[in-house]
Amino acid sequence: MARWVGGRGFEVQAIKLDGRPLLRVRQYGFLVAYCRSVTEVAAHVDLDELVELITLPNAAARRQG
């Protein structure tokens, strides 16, 4: 699932909860809110500060792959 990080320890992650797509907002690992839209996320986080976090496979996964 997609993840974005921003200033002041914020992280936004696209998740499914009970089969519904949501955006989970956390700050320093603590839950802030579950949001149904980007507009709701903007109430908690400055959207201009968010950058997408891309996780690359490690070397062992590439060798197996």
pTM confidence score: 0.82
**Residue 23's closest CA among 54, 7, 44, 49?**
44
- CB 2, CB 14: distance < 8 Å: yes
Instruction: Choose between 27 and 60: higher pLDDT.
Output: 27
Dump pLDDT digits (tens) for 4-54. 999 999 999 999 999 999 999 999 999 999 999 999 999 999 999 999 998
- For residue 12, the model assigns a pLDDT of 98
- For residue 63, the model assigns a pLDDT of 64
- For residue 42, the model assigns a pLDDT of 97
Residues 54, 3: Cα–Cα separation, whole Å: 8
